[in-house]
Amino acid sequence: MAHADPPLHPANRLAGETSPYLLQHARNPVDWYPWGSEALARAVALDRPIMLSIGYAACHWCHVMERESFEDLDTARVLNEGFVPIKVDREERPDLDQLYMGAVQALTGRGGWPLTLFLTPDGRPFYGGTYFPPVPRHGMPAFTAVLGAVLHAWSGDRARVAQTAAAVAEALAEAPATGAAAAGLPGPSLLADAADAVVAAFDGVGGGWGRAPKFPQPMLVEFLLRRHVATGDPRLLAVARRTLDAMAAGGIRDQLGGGFHRYATDAAWLVPHFEQMLYDNAQLARAYLHAWALTGNAAYLDVATGVLDALLRDFRTPGGGFAASLDADTAGVEGLTYTWPAGEVTELLGDDAPLFEAAYGVTDAGNWEGVSILSRVTDDRVLAGQFGLPEPVVVSRLANARLRLLEARALRPQPARDDKVLAAWNGLVIGALADAARAIDAGAPGLPGMAARAVDYRAAAVAAATDVLGGLRVAPGRLRRSWKDGRATADGVLEDYADLAEGLLALFEATGEDRWYSEAVTLADAMLERFGDPTGGFFDTAVDAEALVVRPKDAQDNAVPSGGAMAAAVLLKLAALTGEPSYQAAAERSIGSVSVLMARFPMAAGQWLGVLEAAHHGLAEVAITGDAQDEATARLVRAANHGYHPFRVLAFGGSPATSAVPLLRDRFMLNGRPTAFVCRNFACRQPVHEPEALDALLAGT
């Protein structure tokens, strides 16, 4: 049911922030502070505990706790009189989120959002949890009871509070350790064992991994695709394809709009948690794109382009960057925008309704709370038999029906959008768009509409990169994290530098423009200088960042790749593009630092495993000389990009005499014709002019 608008209270200190999540709380009766020196100093001056609440704009249970507790005058009075309340957007401050999520997990054994922490004035956590209801429910204490217990302990048992805070701080300081680091790269047996473990954990019925709730795991899919290319093991491709197929057919995919929701609440991918996150969609677009390039299955290309088109339609901001998320709720009702009563489908589609309902599981009773979440339950071939239609007619009528429903859906109330532009997440999108432009140019230019799509994707990647660098680069090698309303906020963390650098390298390979390569090198060098850990790997915050209880260093791949794993991927590519051994050495030290993590917890190290696979396999180096506008050059570029090649780098465009890219520098056009050079393991093959000859040289790379 819809919820009444909360009463308006005078604006609190959050009114001056740009984060949509913080602004959602700007008229709570709670006397919120944003994280910063003012709030911490007030806690010290008043000798009060800090109540730290961390969430994000698209978080359903964050909204629930706001309505139930933070809009409640009595609860607000307790918070204002006994605590210093601080509100944090986890997407703006992933360093704080990671640190204090680790604290809640250490205290309770579980985590999630909203994250609710109680800290000493110097920032050390001593009690916490996630969502607390307004009254005792499902074994959870009432939030007001929690507040009372914390105040009682603070005033009456301070020694115990201090003891707990010290123990948690010690546990947090030890958390980054993952065991003894390998002296060099872990051996190839680790990859074989990890692949076996991933296959063993696979859900052969529903696809994917785990039970409800079930999350997309694009990094594991990408590892399996890479491992299949490296070994030829058919099991790995089968697991990856079954997972991709199940997600594409499920309710977790917006069957009309093309994007993916955050996760499924069931094991069959039917009922999603309806928020849509930029990082999920960027990674999933790439995974489906790579599956198409590897298998040639056009259904994967359709899913990939559907995701990218959804990002261009629903997430792109006026400047060209991409917004962070779409809310799970519409007008206070989860999933309202996306679900369908059967009668509305019949009214909108008329004679096409029975075919559509059979295809997408629409029934009078519905499959969720009396309405239908669209999922693909019957394929085109079976529908053709059921309805006595040629299969192409089924395809055409369903496409038309989807378009009509999408147009009707656009007239409904829409979920709120978190418009902040984050460097890291935009780096992921830039990489996906650039990869799509390259792959479509090489593999699908003759398909209807695909040539234009490749142009659009390349232009969108350039616009996003221009917008992000223009808004968030405050100096060469210095990034802020978030941009909104003309303001850049929060210092960039490791993932901002690494994800953006990786996206810019992909954009360089898609455009041949040196500027993107140069920007990536600047960011990579800044990573090494300001984030590097002398013992191996990278810290998540820079050496000159705000000092926290501990300096965060999270090696695990979560919903987004570990910043360290993406940094290692960038360094491996730069080693191939530059021939600079220091990049290779830094990458291998970083990979070695998480050898125990990969061996013990491969399910939490998909990105790391993919990088380790690349390090063992080695990267082939392809340099193409010639005017990028020359069709002969373009044919060579298309040959280099055709198919799925995760163990290859490409440099082309510009003048070899002046190129910023060492791989391309001082190359030549043999006999005055566009020429391709292929090198690997410090040895180069005979340069060639023809795409067929280049195909032969690249076989096996």
The rounded Cα 149 to chain-centroid distance in angstroms is 38
Q: Please report, as a single letter, which amino acid is at residue 351.
A: D
pLDDT at 485: 92
Q: Is 204 helix (H, G, I), strand (E, B) or coil?
A: coil
Contact at 8 Å (CB) between 153 and 160? yes
Tokens standing for 671? 């006999």
List all residues 6 or more positions away from 689 whose beta carbon is below 8 Å from its beta carbon.
632, 636, 670, 671, 673, 674, 675, 676
The band of 634, judged by pLDDT with boundaries at 50, 70 and 90, is very high
∠370-373-377 over CA atoms, to 5°? 115
**Long-range contacts formed by 270-273: CB under 8 A, 24+ apart:** 270/367, 270/368, 270/373, 270/375, 271/367, 271/368, 271/373, 272/335, 272/373, 273/60, 273/213, 273/328, 273/334
Which of 61-65, 224-228, 252-256, 436-440 is predicted with the least confidence, judged by mean pLDDT? 61-65
Rounded CA-CA distance 465/515 in Å is 11
Contact at 8 Å (CB) between 120 and 49? yes
Domain 620-698 has CATH 3.40.30: yes
Calculate what percentage of the chain has a pLDDT beyond 90. 87
Rounded CA-CA distance 126/117 in Å is 8
pLDDT at 209: 97
| Residue whose tokens read 């594991």 | 220
Rounded CA-CA distance 73/8 in Å is 12
pLDDT, the chain, mean: 94
The count of residues in the chain is 701
The band of 114, judged by pLDDT with boundaries at 50, 70 and 90, is very high
Residue 84: left (phi > 0), alpha (psi -120 to 50), or beta?
Answer: beta
Rounded CA-CA distance 410/427 in Å is 28
Rounded CA-CA distance 51/30 in Å is 11
pLDDT at 445: 77
The band of 176, judged by pLDDT with boundaries at 50, 70 and 90, is low
Q: Is the pLDDT of residue 400 over 90?
A: yes
Q: Quick one: which of 546, 545, 539 has its CA closest to 562?
A: 539
Q: Is 575 exposed, middle or buried (0-12, 13-18, 19+ CB in 10 A)?
A: buried
For 589-629, what is each residue's pLDDT tens digit? 999 999 999 999 999 999 999 999 999 999 999 999 999 88
Check the CA dihedral 60-61-67-71 and report its sign.
negative
Q: What is the mean pLDDT of residues 42-71?
A: 94
648-652 and 620-625: which strand pairing?
A: parallel
Tokens standing for 594? 């998480």
Secondary element (H or E) of residue 36: none
Q: Is 175 helix (H, G, I), strand (E, B) or coil?
A: coil
84-89 and 50-55: which strand pairing?
A: parallel
List all residues 6 or more positions away from 471 whose beta carbon is below 8 Å from its beta carbon.
319, 321, 421, 480, 483, 488
For 1-52, what is each residue's pLDDT tens digit? 344 455 556 789 999 999 999 999 999 999 999 999 999 999 999 999 999 9
- Its CATH architecture, for the domain 13-174, is 3-Layer(aba) Sandwich (3.40)
Rounded CA-CA distance 79/67 in Å is 15
Tokens standing for 196? 């076996």
Rounded CA-CA distance 496/619 in Å is 24
Q: Quick one: which of 600, 632, 595, 636 has its CA closest to 612?
A: 595
pLDDT at 592: 96
For 548-575, what is each residue's pLDDT tens digit? 999 999 999 999 999 999 999 999 999 9
The band of 179, judged by pLDDT with boundaries at 50, 70 and 90, is very low
Alpha helices by DSSP H, listed for 25-140, are 37-46, 60-65, 73-82, 94-108
Residue spans per domain, the chain: 13-174, 342-409, 620-698
pLDDT at 59: 87
pLDDT at 481: 97
Q: Is the pLDDT of residue 502 over 90?
A: yes
Secondary element (H or E) of residue 214: none
CB atoms within 10 A of CB 280: 25
115-119 and 84-89: which strand pairing?
A: unpaired
Q: Is 688 helix (H, G, I), strand (E, B) or coil?
A: strand
Residue 109: left (phi > 0), alpha (psi -120 to 50), or beta?
Answer: left
Q: Is the pLDDT of residue 192 over 50?
A: yes
Rounded CA-CA distance 595/606 in Å is 13
- DSSP class of 672: G
Do 620-698 and 13-174 have the same topology in CATH? yes
Q: Is the pLDDT of residue 184 over 90?
A: no
- Three-state helix/strand/coil letters over 437-484: HHHHHHHCCCCCCHHHHHHHHHHHHHHHHHHHHHHHEEECCEEEEEEE
Q: Is the pLDDT of residue 397 over 60?
A: yes
Contact at 8 Å (CB) between 419 and 317? yes
For 317-331, what is each residue's pLDDT tens digit? 999 999 999 998 898
Contact at 8 Å (CB) between 330 and 1? no
CB atoms within 10 A of CB 326: 28
What Cα–Cα distance (Å) separates residue 497 from each residue in 183, 610, 642? 26, 19, 29
| Residue whose tokens read 């993932």 | 495
pLDDT at 1: 36
Which of 163-177, 213-227, 350-364, 595-609 is predicted with the least confidence, judged by mean pLDDT? 163-177
Q: Is the pLDDT of residue 151 over 60?
A: yes
Rounded CA-CA distance 463/465 in Å is 6
For 286-298, what is each residue's pLDDT tens digit? 999 999 999 999 9
Q: Is the pLDDT of residue 655 over 90?
A: no
Q: Is the pLDDT of residue 227 over 50?
A: yes
Q: Is the pLDDT of residue 503 over 60?
A: yes
What Cα–Cα distance (Å) separates residue 8 from each residue in 68, 437, 505? 15, 48, 48
Calculate what percentage of the chain has a pLDDT beyond 70. 97
DSSP string computed for 527-542: HHHHTB-TTSSB-SS-
Which is higher by pLDDT, 685 or 420? 420
Secondary element (H or E) of residue 432: helix 423-443
The band of 175, judged by pLDDT with boundaries at 50, 70 and 90, is low
Q: What is the mean pLDDT of residues 363-370?
A: 96
Tokens standing for 6? 């909360």
The rounded Cα 356 to chain-centroid distance in angstroms is 32
Q: Is 53 helix (H, G, I), strand (E, B) or coil?
A: strand
Question: What counts of helices (H) and strands (E) characterise the chain?
Answer: 26, 19
